[in-house]
Amino acid sequence: MAEKRIIRGNRRQTRAYIGLGSNVGDRVGYVQQAMQLLKDVPRIKIIECSSLYETQPTEQNASNWFVNAAAAIETNLTSEELLDVLKDIESRLDKLHGTEFAIKHDTLSSDHGKKRIIDLDILFFGDQTIDSDQLKIPHPMVCRRAYALVPLLEIAPELTHPTSKKSVAQLHEELPEPELVYLYGTRETEIGSG
């Protein structure tokens, strides 16, 4: 009986939106692998995936551009269970590729611990708002970052933020100083730049 309670989770299906991003190593490969691992979770159904986008880093010390995407999913997992799934995928990819990346880029020092192979975030979880130490939904940066809004704009422009009541399209329109976002493969780069 106890096992039934553990796997029951949330009986109703919830539409959630996941943000994926990587700015180290094989950025496209890591995002694609994370998406595949997400598809392999039995209680998650991928509804739609955005295109891949190349996005300007927002941190002052970051030099590599990110590859970002968003996925719409349906799940009967709770938000906390979904967070655990995403952290597990991040960890699995880091274990699989972290050492090879560190050796290739000579970052086997403790500095490697700061570089994550992939970042997966719950951007929205139905119309829920959650503010706990472990989880904040909607994601606090979703209203302020083009790297999250542009992929969402492609797959869910009418999605409404549960507290501001603004659509993704409105939020994107109101960004004061959005970082640069290009459809992957369209950004012109200088030879040797990230």
Confidence of residue 18 (pLDDT cuts 50, 70, 90): very high
Write the class of the CATH domain 2-183: alpha beta
Confidence of residue 4 (pLDDT cuts 50, 70, 90): very low
Per-residue model confidence (pLDDT) at position 3: 47
Please name which of 99, 101, 141 lies closest in space to residue 123, comparing C-alpha atoms: 141
**Domain edges within the chain:** 2-183
Alpha carbons 116 and 107: distance in angstroms, whole number:
12
Exposure on the CB side of residue 18, measured as CA atoms within 13 A:
30
pLDDT in tens, 123-142: 999 999 999 999 999 999 99
Per DSSP, the three-state class of 163 is coil
Confidence of residue 115 (pLDDT cuts 50, 70, 90): low
pTM of the model: 0.85
Confidence of residue 63 (pLDDT cuts 50, 70, 90): confident
Alpha carbons 114 and 110: distance in angstroms, whole number:
8
The backbone torsions φ and ψ at residue 155, rounded to the nearest 5 degrees and listed phi first, read: -105, -20
The answer, yes or no, to whether residue 62 has pLDDT greater than 60, is: yes
